[in-house]
Structure 1
């Protein structure tokens, strides 16, 4: 996919279609992500992504009310893998994460993408709340363990 100036801005991955033809709805991977992945494949033969060993979910209006939050921005830690980077850093289920490395988090998906893009062995400063008290933790991203067949 190119813009009006002929610059590469993304790579098309899929289209939405009921009939087999394009209806004007397409999906693409941004060129910034593509070039990062391509460079890692060229240099290492594989892609390494940052990983914390957490299960995260979006903060719904109901969860925000339940946790006494002003808004739904951020993510709720729903689970922590024992022995993973988040566990080692003392991240707990029920923690609300609002910022990673001084960047506000909109939702769980964008936060997980931000973490993945950093790669393993990156230091993160995580800010949020635990039991309605301010929380600041440092965590070192890990490498996702291989899945056994």
Structure 2
């Protein structure tokens, strides 16, 4: 962690050397801004240690990182005009090598991008939808069922229902 913090301070020009030879900091609080460039390094340095995480959506609380893909549930609902896909996806942060899925249970899941490359675009699309739904037009259902659905079933628990 010391190595990460030293690099962070150097990259953000957050520290300076005083005449006494000691170092000072321009950072006026204890928060770090994590970006695509430093996210992977932060979680690598963090290891299994809990950390305090604060966003505009959450109050500061102790979080943990798990290096696994959570199992999401997806619901397919057949309608007269097509197929509705429902899935509650966690917020997604992207590092260089990993995606980070921010769950509501104070856990951030770290998943290698390569591991979910087949469904990554779909996950990011669903995560951006406030209601967690999308509609497959009636004429596109065969293509969806033959092409994308088998891949989605490998990664998610898919429940099929009729309206």
Is the TM value for this pair above 0.5?
A: no
TM-score bracket for this pair, using the shorter chain length: under 0.3
Larger Rg: 2
Greater helix proportion:
2
